[in-house]
């Protein structure tokens, strides 16, 4: 049976395989950073680690190519750590197990890390290719892109030398991206108090699982069910109609992933257990009627569980559930300038319960900064009215398209010449690092492109094998045709 080491281009897949063997969840990039520095030193490349933890490498111009414009190749070293509920896996210790499935490479029950591992592997392949003749190449490999773009937030001006930046973090081969949305986080905290469980109640665990989830920007327009919002609907019904009490609510895990699973523990009076099961059947039917076409594996389950010692005080739980119900989620506005592009959205990403707190995370995105800020204030208003503390943070700008870009026109012409068709020129409702980089290096001419990656940020993530070769060949074609400095 083939492994990914047998795939073409072998130098790209070799580096990607090595990356899959190194744990690199966001915030835990120490080992992959050591690996990148070692690759650079083994290949006599200039390398530095900045104070934030980003790795910057440089390869000198080939003889005769010294007058070419300097190209900065850009990717991030971290990956989203998502796994199926039934998969035993430690993202801080275990290597990713890759599987070739027809025309695709995927992982065994976890995220694959093709986002952005393939882009990073392509950079390493280029920098270590002894036969490649190019001008000076620079690589910016950032940390913590998936969790909060800490790497580019910490990037200093006057570090990069490039005239052109090629971001290799897009996920549709045959498309060139020239703009992206900005984003902002909302961190919401309810301080809770608890009361002892009264007599005459039974405890039940309720859960929604089997959802597709996906990237909270790229997949937000696909009509998928947010597990937190779905489960909250049933909790509210049970509290309003069955005198249910809330013990805990936990769903989602990452700010930039649509929640795939959520569970809660509720208490119901013994004389309303039958009504609970009837409500379960009705709710299950309604969910499948609403979402069955897009969520064919949706499961809604209820089972009796051990009686806890306490529950969240009823008036507090009521405010929490109503605020989650009222929180905007999903696509909020489509772009009026770019057909089919989401302009503004919010992802109610996670709900976590501890003994004395319920903590909620949202990630809002927009290609218009003022619209992003307005959504943040709307979310803040909803939760503050319910008594929560809300902090809006981590705001990063969008990347404004430049349709007259020199590198865009070059790449578009080269793609048409090589593959016989004009690539699609797009903006994306996701947080590429180009917006922040451009705010610090306004003279950089930038585009973004990559191979075809499906379902990033979920255990269904997979990368198309043939697209990796086309993506890498296209990258080499651009590097071979970089214009001279003026």
Task: Examine residue 9 and say whether the peptide bond preceding it is cis (omega within 30 degrees of 0).
Answer: yes
- Catalytic status, residue 145: yes
Residue 408 to residues 86, 164, 166, 415, 424: CA-CA distances in angstroms?
45, 10, 10, 10, 11
Could you report how far apart the first and last alpha carbons of the chain are, in Å? Answer: 52
Overall average pLDDT of the 200-215 stretch? 96
Q: Which of 296-310, 348-362, 419-433 has the lowest mean pLDDT?
A: 419-433
- The ranges assigned to domains in the chain are 4-181+398-480, 184-396
**pTM to 2 decimals?**
0.79
User: H-helix or E-strand containing 55?
Assistant: strand 55-59
Overall average pLDDT of the 238-257 stretch? 95
User: DSSP state, 392?
Assistant: E
The answer to whether residues 127 and 71 touch, using CB atoms and an 8 Å cutoff, is no
The one catalytic residue in 78, 138, 445, 461 is 78
Overall average pLDDT of the 208-221 stretch? 94
- Catalytic status, residue 78: yes
Class of domain 184-396 as given by CATH: alpha beta
For the stretch 270-291, pLDDT in tens is: 999 999 999 999 999 999 999 9
User: DSSP state, 145?
Assistant: T
The one catalytic residue in 29, 144, 145, 207 is 145
Per-residue confidence (pLDDT) for residue 1, from 0 to 100: 58
Per-residue confidence (pLDDT) for residue 267, from 0 to 100: 98
The answer to whether residues 203 and 267 touch, using CB atoms and an 8 Å cutoff, is yes
What Rg do the C-alpha atoms of the chain give, in angstroms?
Answer: 24
Q: Percent of the chain beyond pLDDT 90?
A: 91
Helices (H), ranges, 181-242: 227-241
For the stretch 81-115, pLDDT in tens is: 999 888 999 999 999 999 999 999 999 999 999 99
Class of domain 4-181+398-480 as given by CATH: alpha beta
């Amino acid at each position: 049976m083939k492994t990914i080491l047998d795939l073409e281009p072998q130098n790209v897949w070799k580096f990607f395989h090595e990356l899959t063997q190194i744990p690199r969840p966001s915030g835990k990039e120490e080992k992959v950073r050591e690996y990148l520095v070692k690759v650079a030193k083994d290949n006599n490349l200039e390398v530095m680690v900045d104070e934030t933890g980003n790795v910057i490498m440089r390869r000198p111009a080939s003889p005769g190519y010294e007058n070419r414009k300097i190209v900065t190749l850009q990717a991030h070293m971290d990956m989203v750590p998502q796994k199926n509920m039934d998969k035993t896996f430690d993202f801080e210790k275990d290597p990713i197990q890759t599987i070739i499935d027809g025309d695709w490479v995927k992982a065994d029950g976890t995220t694959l890390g093709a986002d952005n591992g393939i882009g990073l592997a392509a950079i390493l392949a280029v920098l270590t290719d002894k036969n490649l003749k190019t001008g000076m190449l620079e690589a910016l490999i950032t940390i913590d892109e998936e969790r909060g773009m800490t790497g580019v937030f910490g990037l200093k001006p006057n570090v990069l030398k490039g005239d052109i930046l090629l971001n290799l973090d897009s996920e549709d081969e045959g498309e060139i991206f020239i703009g992206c949305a900005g984003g902002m986080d909302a961190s919401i905290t309810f301080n809770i108090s608890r009361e002892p469980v009264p007599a005459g109640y039974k405890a039940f665990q309720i859960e929604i699982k089997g959802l597709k989830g996906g990237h909270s920007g790229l997949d937000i327009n696909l009509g998928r069910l947010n597990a937190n919002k779905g489960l909250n609907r049933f909790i509210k019904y049970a509290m309003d109609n069955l005198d249910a009490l809330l013990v805990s609510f936990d769903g989602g895990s990452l700010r930039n992933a649509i929640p795939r699973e959520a569970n809660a523990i509720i208490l119901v009076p013994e004389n309303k257990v039958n009504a609970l099961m009837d409500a379960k059947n009705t709710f299950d039917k309604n969910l499948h009627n609403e979402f069955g076409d897009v969520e064919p594996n949706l499961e809604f389950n209820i089972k009796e569980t051990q009686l806890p010692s306490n529950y969240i005080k009823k008036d507090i739980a009521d405010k929490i559930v109503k605020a989650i119900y009222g929180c905007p989620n999903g696509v909020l506005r489509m772009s009026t300038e770019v057909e089919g592009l989401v302009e503004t959205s919010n992802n109610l990403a996670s709900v976590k319960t501890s003994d004395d707190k319920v903590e909620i995370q949202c990630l809002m995105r927009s290609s218009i900064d003022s619209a992003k800020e307005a959504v943040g204030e709307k979310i803040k208003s909803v939760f503050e009215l319910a008594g929560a503390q809300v902090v809006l943070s981590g705001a990063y700008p969008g990347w404004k398209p430049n349709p007259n870009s020199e590198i865009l026109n070059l790449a578009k012409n080269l793609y048409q010449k090589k593959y016989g068709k004009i690539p699609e020129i797009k903006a994306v409702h996701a947080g590429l690092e180009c917006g922040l980089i451009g705010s610090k290096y306004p003279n950089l001419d930038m585009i973004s492109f990559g191979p075809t990656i499906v379902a990033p940020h979920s255990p269904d993530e997979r990368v198309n094998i043939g697209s990796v070769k086309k993506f890498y060949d296209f990258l080499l074609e651009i590097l071979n045709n970089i214009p001279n400095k003026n």
